[in-house]
Amino acid sequence: MQCAITVSPLTPTFGAEVLGLHPQTVSDSWPQLRDAFRTHRLLVLRDLPLDEMQFTLLAQRLGPLEGRYVMRRSDGKASSPVHLIQNLDADGRVAANPYGNANYFWHTDKQYHLQPSLATLLQAMQIPPTGGTTEFADMSAAYEALAPAVRERIRGLRAVYSYPHMLRTCLKREPTAEEIEKTPPVDHPLVRTHPETGRASLFVGMYCCAIVGMPPQESCALLAQLQAHATDRRFVYAHAWQPKDLLMWDNRCLLHRAVADFDMARYRRVMRRTVVQGEVPV
Ligand SMILES: [Fe+2]
């Protein structure tokens, strides 16, 4: 079934709202959606109440789904490839913050893997009346806005990405032996090239802990400077969720974070999520 969709940019550099999709027309609209995803890198698919199978099939159009999860669900069990992110405790009661604070720091998903994720899909199942915002930052526009001398300084550098580093700095706790064993540090280019568009972007965020071969103090200062630059408000889009929104974004060139801007002890925020496997960054 063919159905016209409209794609409208959300910011001057990235993100687009897509209207006119229906669960039965996603398949026919996929070529247009795929092009829009390459161009805009964050798609806000409005009013698209996919069930779990339809959601899974949509994600798999981009590639195989990520199956390795170190972080546990609120009931202590391992996450499945398609899972819920929710502020509910193991008994299904509203809980202030069952996952800790990691989502509130700028990051890109699975950056601590040798093959960080290509994309993440997040679907609103239940949202608070206001708030529950998700923010995105454009690491390509941020890279292009750097002074030429800075671009020259960071050209060819590699950085180390570590899950235990995130636990220590964001969650303020030591990793367990299992977490250390499952997530050895990896290194990637600090400036990565998008495999489809050839566009360069900074590859920073909460897992990025050091620059290979650089003295620690200098490395820390440079990473802090780049991170502050990449998340300057001129590169940021703040998404105010509407019921039945489905977002898909390109983790290879965007940072994201949740914002703690609603009463988590009172309102449910339940999101369906999956992550698409990516390639080795170059
Ligand atoms: Fe995330």
Does the pLDDT of residue 184 top 90, yes or no? yes
DSSP-derived 3-state class of residue 248:
strand
Confirm if 282 and 189 have CB atoms less than 8 A apart: yes
Question: For the residues 183-202, what does the mean pLDDT come to?
Answer: 97
pLDDT of residue 102: 83
Q: What is the mean pLDDT of the chain?
A: 93
Does the pLDDT of residue 74 top 70, yes or no? no
Selection from 241, 255, 30 nearest residue 120 by Cα: 255
Does the pLDDT of residue 59 top 80, yes or no? yes
Q: How confident is the model at residue 69 (pLDDT cuts 50, 70, 90)?
A: low
178 vs 268: CA distance, rounded Å: 31
For residue 2, the CA-to-ligand 1 centroid distance in Å is: 33
pLDDT of residue 1: 57
For the four alpha carbons of 40, 44, 45 and 51, in that order, the dihedral sign comes to positive
Does the pLDDT of residue 73 top 70, yes or no? no
- The β-bridge partners of 234 are none
pLDDT tens profile 227-266: 999 999 999 999 999 999 999 999 999 999 999 999 888 8
Q: What is the set of active-site residues? A: 107, 109, 256, 273
For residue 166, the CA-to-ligand 1 centroid distance in Å is: 13
Say which residues have a Cβ less than 8 Å from residue 107's Cβ, sequence separation at least 6: 166, 205, 206, 207, 255, 256, 257
pLDDT of residue 88: 85
Measured in Å, how far apart are the chain's first and last C-alpha atoms?
A: 39
Q: How confident is the model at residue 185 (pLDDT cuts 50, 70, 90)?
A: very high
The token duo for 106 is 């700028």
Give me the helices (H) in the chain, please. 26-40, 52-60, 139-144, 148-154, 163-169, 177-182, 216-230
pLDDT of residue 264: 87
Asked which of 16-20, 32-36, 101-105 is least confident by mean pLDDT, the reply is: 101-105
For residue 122, the CA-to-ligand 1 centroid distance in Å is: 10
For residue 9, the CA-to-ligand 1 centroid distance in Å is: 22
Q: How confident is the model at residue 99 (pLDDT cuts 50, 70, 90)?
A: low
Does the pLDDT of residue 72 top 70, yes or no? no
pLDDT of residue 2: 55
For residue 280, the CA-to-ligand 1 centroid distance in Å is: 19
For residue 4, the CA-to-ligand 1 centroid distance in Å is: 31
Name the residue with higher pLDDT: 3 or 7. 7
Q: How confident is the model at residue 70 (pLDDT cuts 50, 70, 90)?
A: low
pLDDT of residue 272: 96
pLDDT of residue 87: 87
The token duo for 209 is 């802990």
Rg over CA atoms, the chain: 19
Does the pLDDT of residue 26 top 80, yes or no? yes
What is the share, in percent, of the chain residues with pLDDT greater than 90? 84
Q: How confident is the model at residue 19 (pLDDT cuts 50, 70, 90)?
A: very high
Q: If you search the block for the tokens 């890109």, which residue do you land on?
A: 108
Q: How confident is the model at residue 68 (pLDDT cuts 50, 70, 90)?
A: confident
Does the pLDDT of residue 166 top 70, yes or no? yes
